[in-house]
Homo-oligomer: A and B are copies of this chain.
C-alpha cells in the first residue's frame, strides 16, 4: 500500500459544517459569511462592529516558533495544527491561527501550506488555491496604487508631484523571476518608461497593513501613509497624494475579515493574512489572533521562519502593537535540522552521529535561551518526529535539552494527529503563564541601537555594519518623525547570522545592514541584511506540472 498523500488524507476527512465549528468558539450563524459549507469569514470582527460583548482577549496565547530550519522546513505548521488538536483532545477550548498560503510555493517547490499528514487544515484544496481571495485582494489594492502612480507620471497633471524616485513596485501571487526587474511604460502612448519590477504578492506592504489593521478606518489611515517614492525636493510621496487609500481599502473590505476553517479533527482554525516573513513580520493577522483570544482559552499561533526572526518580530512588533503577549513559546526542532547545524551534509543525515547532535543542539538552545532570558517566556521544545528518525538519537537530543534546563516533548502529530501531541499539549498547559510584556528595546531608542540590540542579543552578532544608504534612511526617519517605529529585520532564515552557511550557534560575527526601507503604513522600518528575495523563481520541475483536474472537477497532485 502506498502512503496516502496529504490531499488524499484531507479528502478522507468528513468536515463538520462551518457553523458547528463557529459554535465551538461562540460564533453565531449570523456572524459567519460563508464561502461554501466549510469556510466562512467572521463578521463583526473589530471592536466598533461589536464582538458580541467579548472584546477582551482572555485566552492563553501560545507562540509556535522554530530553530533555524533546513530548506525543507521543520514542520512548524504541522506542529501548530497538531498541538491545537492535542489541546482540544485534552479538553481545552482551543483555536489555532495561521497564515494564508501564497500560490507561489504551491506551484513552485514547497507545495501547500496547511500542515501535513494527520495534522492538517481542511479544505486543503481551497486553502491552497485562492481560498477566500484575500491575497488577490491585496495584490489588486497594491497594483491599483501602482497604476495610479504611473498614470500621474504619464499625465503630468496638477497637482504636479514632481516625482523623482518611485519605490513602489507591482505584485503578483506567483513565483515568476522574470518579473523581478523590468522596464515598463514602453511603446507609443504606453506611459513613461522606467525601471521597476514585481514582488510576490505576500511581500506587499499592503499585506503587512492588512495584518496589523485594527478596523476599516485604521486600514485606510495606514494605506494613506504608505511611502511610494520621493519628489525632486526630497520630500516623501505617499499613497494619499494619489487619493488611493479609499479605493484600496474598499478592495480590502472583505479581506479584512478573518477566515474560519477547521483541522481534520475539527478544531477551529482562523487562517488570515500572510505577510512574507522575508520582508515583513510574517504572522497571521492581529484580527485573527484577537478574535481567537476573545473566544478560546488556548490560542496556538505560528510565526514565520526561526525564532530569531519570527518570534522576535512577533514579540517586539506585533505583540507591542496589539497589546497582547504570549503565555508560552513552543520551539520546534527536528533531528534533521539539529544534525545539519552540527555540520552533517544532507546526504549523510540518515547516519548516526551523536557528535553532530551535541554540536547542532546549540542552535536549538540559542532560541530557547532568547525566549526565556530576553523575553521572559516559558518555553517548551517540541521535537517534530519524522518516520526515519532513530529512537536513540531522539532520546539523546531530548536528554541534551533537558540537561540545558528546558522542558521537551516529542510531537508525533504528522503520523498520528492530535493523539501524537497530547504530551506536548499537557506540558504547554503546565508552563502557560500570563505576564506583562518584556520587549527587547524601547521604541524611543535610536534606530541604530534597536538594530544593534536585535543583532547582539538575539542573533549573537559582534557588531552591526550599516551601509551609507542605511544611515541616510535613518536620517530621513529622524527628520520625518519615523524613528520611533520598531525594526523589522529581513535576514536569511537558515542561520542566526546573515550568512545562510554559518550554521550552529555562531557568535561575534558582523551583521551587515545594506538598506533600510520605511514601511510607514505597516508601521515599521525594514532592515535588509544580505540579499533578500522578494520575488522567488520556479524550480527546474515546478509542482504545477503534476497538478490536474478530473472530470468530476476534483483536483489531484496538490501536496
Q: Which 3 A-B pairs have the closest CB atoms?
A: A178-B191, A246-B548, A181-B187
Let me know if A391 is at the binding interface, CB within 8 A: no
Q: Is residue A119 within 8 Å, beta carbon to beta carbon, of the partner chain?
A: no
Given contacts A48-B551, A133-B130, contact A176 B247 (CB under 8 A): no
In the complex, residue of chain B having the shortest beta-carbon distance to the beta carbon of A32: B36
Assess the A174–B140 pair: CB atoms within 8 A.
yes
Given the complex of chains A and B, what is the CA–CA distance between A209 and B497 in angstroms?
Answer: 50
Contact stretch, chosen from A146-154, A337-345, A463-471:
A146-154
Pick the contact of A175: B147, B190, B547, B558 (CB < 8 A). B147
Q: C-beta contact mask, A237-251 vs B, less than 8 Å → 1, else 0? A: 000001110110111
A to B CB contacts below 8 Å, 9 in the list: A48-B551, A130-B133, A140-B173, A143-B176, A144-B544, A182-B182, A182-B184, A246-B547, A247-B545
| Measured CA separation A130–B138 after assembly (Å) | 11
Closest-CB distance, A556 to chain B (whole angstroms) = 8
Minimum Cβ distance to chain B for residue A2 (Å): 20
Residues in B with CB closer than 8 Å to A195 are 186
Q: Which residue of B lies closest to A172 (CB)?
A: B143
Chain A's interface size range is: 35 or more
B549 touching A144 by the CB < 8 A rule? no
The reply on A272 being an interface residue by CB < 8 A is: no
A191 to B358, CA, bound (A): 42
Copies of this subunit: 2
User: Per-residue CB proximity of A7-51 to B under 8 Å, as 1/0?
Assistant: 000000000000000000000000001111100000000101100
Q: Supply 4 further A-B pairs (C-beta < 8 A) apart from A157-B540, A182-B182, A247-B545.
A: A130-B137, A136-B136, A216-B553, A217-B550
- Name the interface residues of A147-176: CB closer than 8 Å to any CB of B: 147-148, 150-151, 153-155, 157, 170, 172-176
Q: Please, which residue of chain B has its CB at the minimum distance from the CB of A126?
A: B254
A352 interface hit (Cβ, 8 Å): no
In the complex, A195 Cα to B183 Cα: how many Å? 10
CB neighbours of A157 from chain B (8 A): 540
Which of A137, A170, A178, A557 is most buried by chain B, counting CB atoms within 10 A of its CB? Answer: A178
In the bound assembly, the distance between CA atoms of A249 and B557 in angstroms comes to 12
Closest to A136 in B: B136
On whether the beta carbons of A178 and B150 are closer than 8 Å, the reply is yes
Q: Does A289 belong to the interface (CB within 8 Å)?
A: no
